[in-house]
A and B are shown apart, each in its own frame.
Chain A
Amino acid sequence: MTLASISSTPRATLVDRLTGLRVPPVVVLSFLVVALAIAWSLAPGLFTGYDPVSGTPAQKLLGPSAAHWFGTDHLGRDLYARIVYGTASSVASALIAVVIGVVVGGIIGLLAGFFGGWVDTVFARLVDVLLAIPKFLLAVIVVTAIGFDTTNAAIATGVSAVALFARVMRSEVIKTRQATFVESSFLLGGSRWHILWRHVLPNASRSVLPLAVLQFGDSILVIASLAFLGYGDPPPASDWGLLISIGKDYLKWPWLVYAPALVTIATVLSVNRISRWLRKTD
């Protein structure tokens, strides 16, 4: 289980692809779903007139209707509003997880791959340990250690993804370093940092991007699972995972589970589709 190489072919840039206009309709739909999720998280007030925190207790547990698209919860709050307002936290926490995974894992992989030798060996063992512990178990242990809330769950999820990015980054770095243009750059006396910055990073980041997008979708699920086990934010937070977790206590009113679950699935599916499209257009 040492870090190892990963094969890939040179690929087109994102801009090339978009201008190529060979975007399948499913991918367009996926982008729309993600755009809606982003809009919900930036300006939730534009999408609903209901208050996500204060409800009308007398109107508790109503089924979906024209007035309440996804029904109301046990305290008479509009579920659609709660989902819309919970988006920011769900999206942001997944983003935190990805950033931690990419940055920490990226740096480890970069250093290990670039310097080799004992640096590589030390990092390789660290990554091996992270890899040997099942990802979700690792996330649970870390969130226990740093306390139960959504940000901490995001950090834990990020930590559990570090090994993945470290591996990919390292192999990309090694590959790029061995490439002819980099070797000639060495011969021409370019500084290590210059080479790292100009040649290695841009090349490596191309294979990290689709992986990061994929990880974003995965992080939403892992954070939701942690919330399901009770490691999320306190009320009145309404992250999607929390909503499902609260909903499972009220299974007589199934929309409390299904509405947030469907929103979660649609978002993650769209993200996965986009990641696949980014890879396929090689």
Chain B
Amino acid sequence: MSKAYFNYAGKRLLQAIVVILLSYVFTFVVVSILPGDPITNVLNNPQNGFTPDEIKEIIAAQGLDKPIPVQLWNAFSGFLTGDLGLSMRTNRPVATLIAEVLPSTLVLASAGLAVALLLAAIIAYGTQFLPQRFGQGLLRGFPSLFLSVPNFVIGLVLIHLFGFQLGVFRVIEPDSFWATLFAAIALGIPISAQIAEVLIANLDHESGQDYATVARGRGLSQMRLFVKHLLKPSSLPVITVVALTIGELLGGSLITETVFGRNGLGSLVQRSVSTQDLPVLQAVVSLAAVVFVVVNLIADLTYPLLDPRVKLLGTQQRRPTTADDSSLPISKAVTP
């Protein structure tokens, strides 16, 4: 716990806050490029029979005729004081809407992450210990395959196979255990590929090291060797990958929730996007940014404490890992 560490921590914290605030502004600016919002949209539908005067009056009453910067400032000042505002589409507080759907997404995302980690460990173990002839090469191809299948296709296949053909779960109860599990599989498969890539690369590297060879010479069982000697040194970069896949989990839930009919953050975004419900979109994006930034901040700040090999060189010091491009499954980027 040096002074350098606190300097580093302070600077990282400041950066994190700036990023969260900027992401809020960014969303507002992007969504405001195209005119339109839920209220105007309802008024413009000729089926609803509003006269032009009525439309003008309602838009003015809602403050939607104000210049964009004024609207941004109004929303932003609310955001700074913790007020996420009202959803224009549903007229309900954004915070309430998010609180309603958040648990469902948290369950799906954690289950998806668990599936991804398990799959990745199985694949990585296989590549190290299966004999060359029996499918080791095939296993090494799995991550590539997983990354090549659109995850809505995985979802559709799972639903039709297990939901309807085999009747393992009821499609209209997407929050039941089995339905959640299959949704988690659909979400977890592409993510497992990324984790497996890093894990395999690290295992390949570590198993070339002397201590692994020595251990093997002593006749340690393969499983014990895998767990005790290899998984542990390799796991530091995996922690960073997991931190970075948080974003993928949230993004992937957008599709998975739609396919499985789950009512979570992803489907809330879907509904809000289709009507350009700006306050909800801003809140969800900011929330995703907060989660991402906080998780990475924690990873960054604990890393120097966990791994004695890391020395802090002022604020420029990085985690010696894939932190900066681990969203791509490139093994060569991993340099423990």
Contacts and interface: CB of A to CB of B under 8 A. Distances in A.
Interface of A: 1-9, 125-126, 128-129, 131-137, 140-142, 144-147, 164, 167-168, 171, 210-211, 214, 217-218, 221, 224-225, 228-230, 241, 244, 248, 251, 254, 257, 261, 264-265, 268-269, 272-273, 276, 279, 282
Given A133-B285, A221-B150, A268-B149, 5 more contacts: A7-B335, A132-B20, A141-B30, A144-B276, A251-B160
B252 A136 contact: yes
B273 A144 contact: yes
Given A132-B289, A228-B152, A265-B148, A141 B160 contact: no
B255 A229 contact: yes
B106 interface: no
Contacts of B302: none
Contacts of B335: 7
A155 B250 CA distance: 21
Contacts, number: 164
B270 interface: yes
B284 to A, nearest CB: 8
Interface of B is mostly: helix
Contacts of B251: 134-137
Contact of B156 (A133, A171, A218, A248): A248
B18 interface: yes
Contacts of B330: 210-211, 214, 279
B333 A6 contact: yes
Interface stretch (B39-47, B71-79, B222-230, B318-326): B318-326
A128 B150 contact: no
Interface of A is mostly: helix
Contact of B254 (A140, A145, A211): A140
A263 B285 CA distance: 33
6 contacts: A4-B324, A7-B332, A125-B15, A133-B27, A164-B325, A214-B330
B154 to A, nearest CB: 10
B153 A261 contact: yes
B285 A8 contact: no
Nearest to A264: B150
Nearest to B272: A144
Contacts of A244: 150, 152-153
A128 B19 contact: yes
Nearest to B143: A272
Contacts of A279: 330, 332
A133 B152 contact: no
B263 interface: no
B327 interface: yes
B23 A129 contact: yes
Interface string B298-331: 0010000000000000000010000111011010
Contact of A225 (B15, B31, B150): B150
B327 A136 contact: no
Given A257-B153, A264-B150, A272-B144, A132 B19 contact: yes
Contact of A146 (B33, B248, B273): B33
A134 B156 contact: no
A72 B325 CA distance: 43
Contacts of A128: 15, 19, 22
B15 A5 contact: no
B332 A132 contact: no
Contacts of A164: 325, 327-328
Contact of A1 (B15, B156, B276): B15
Given A137-B285, A257-B156, A261-B153, A3 B19 contact: no
B95 interface: no
A276 B324 CA distance: 19
Given A145-B30, A225-B255, A134 B247 contact: yes
B289 A133 contact: yes
Contacts of A134: 247-248, 250-251, 288, 292
